[in-house]
Amino acid sequence: MLLLSCAWPAAAQEQAEPDRLSVTPALRLQYDSNMLRLNEQRLSGRRDDTRITPGISFQLRRQIGLHSLAISGDAGYDFHRRFKFLDRARVNGVANANILLGGRCTAAPRARLEIAQTELSELGVPVGNMQTTQDYQLTLACPRPSGFYPSVTGGLLRASNSADSRRRYDLRTETIRGALGYAKPSLGDIQLSASYQRFARPGLLETTGIDDGTDVYQYGVVFNRAVAPRVKSRIGLSYLSVKPHRKEVEDFSGLGWEGEIAVSPTPRFTTTVGVERSARSQSNFGASYIVQTDYRLSTKMQLSARSALTLAASRSGRRFRGENNMLLPIPRLKDRTTTFSAGYQFTLRDALRIGLNASHEKRSADNDFYAYSATTVTLSAGTRF
């Protein structure tokens, strides 16, 4: 899913990490029991497939005086054994910088690029489509260890599709957010914020003249607190007002929330619980906006100096508002997705890492056309130099 998130910059007082450059050739082999994300009613034949992805991962971290730069990403190519129409290049890259301004304030620009075959679970139909996502953000803040401080964030996200049949789904999201925070070491950090988001589908407007834009106004408060190194929490509550441009689409007004608690009884064991409710938009959906509620639970165990185990479960519920019959003849209405996963990572040598992951995903929907289940097993290996 393509979402726009605004992150707060790290305080300039944090200890700088050493410069680093690493390049990792990698190979990933994945078996998927339902690569097309279809149910038996839609396809009675074989839906499983094996995907091989050779590629590289890279990471650059550089300290330039009091400023810092970090670039990371990976690039590869997906080869499918059965469904070769899904063969596509896969590129992900993120660049972050932290620039000190005047000794007290910071500018934190961020850029993200993602190029890949669109997830078929979101398309609803098995179509080969390269989706390119560009995400740009800039946060200006004047953090203080104690007292009041301001912050403002602006963002622009563009998601475009290569297939002619999907270009109407192109998405543009613009975001502006302002906050006033108060920090106190014995209390934590609290922020009062107001934000505005605008969702637009330029491809649909250009080809049909339909303005399927949506304005989202959000007013809220977020509280962050760390109790020693063992417990960290983030709790937020907001009021959402969603106003679509199309008159036939209903407005939405209600509460949004976010919460996350991470507990580490020992340095080798961490459990994280999270919940969130928000209004969103996504490319390749024929809906003006989505009201989504997420629940997450994960546990990470460092079994030894060379091995780690991760267990996770999540459930997501979505309500689709303003589904456009021109884009999606069969409406989704509402759906619910439950996922269980487990991952094991082992460092065989200092430069060789091996990973084994398994997950099971099940989606139910008001319209059974979009229901499916899938199990995936992934084996990955990479070396660093």
Q: For the chain, what are the domain ranges?
A: 20-383
| The pLDDT value given to residue 2 | 35
Positions in the chain short of pLDDT 70: 1-18, 326-329, 384-385
Full 3-state SS string of the chain: CCCCCCCCCCCCCCCCCCCEEEEEEEEEEEEECCCCCCCCCCCCCCCCEEEEEEEEEEEEEEEECCEEEEEEEEEEEEEECCCHHHCEEEEEEEEEEEEEECCCEEEEEEEEEEEEECCHHHHCCCCCCEEEEEEEEEEEECCCCCEEEEEEEEEEEEEEECCHHHHHHCEEEEEEEEEEEEEECCCEEEEEEEEEEEEECHHHHHHHCCCCCEEEEEEEEEEEEEECCCEEEEEEEEEEEEEECCCCCCCEEEEEEEEEEEEEEECCEEEEEEEEEEEECCCCCCCCEEEEEEEEEEEEEECCCCEEEEEEEEEEEEEEECCCCCCCCCCCCEEEEEEEEEEEEEEEECCEEEEEEEEEEEEEECCHHHCEEEEEEEEEEEECC
Which single residue is written with the structure tokens 């906006």? 289
pLDDT tens for each residue of 128-152: 899 999 999 999 999 888 999 999 9
Which backbone phi and psi does 205 adopt, to 5 degrees?
-65, -40
Q: What pLDDT is attached to residue 98?
A: 95
Amino acid at 239: Y
What's at 282, amino acid-wise? Answer: Q
Q: What is the pLDDT of residue 16?
A: 52
pLDDT score of 191:
96
Is residue 298 a contact partner of residue 275, using CB atoms and an 8 Å limit? Answer: no
For residue range 268-295, list pLDDT tens digits in order: 999 999 999 999 998 877 789 999 999 9
Position 164 scores a pLDDT of 87
CATH class of this structure's domain 20-383: mainly beta
Beta pairing, strands 214-227 & 231-244: antiparallel
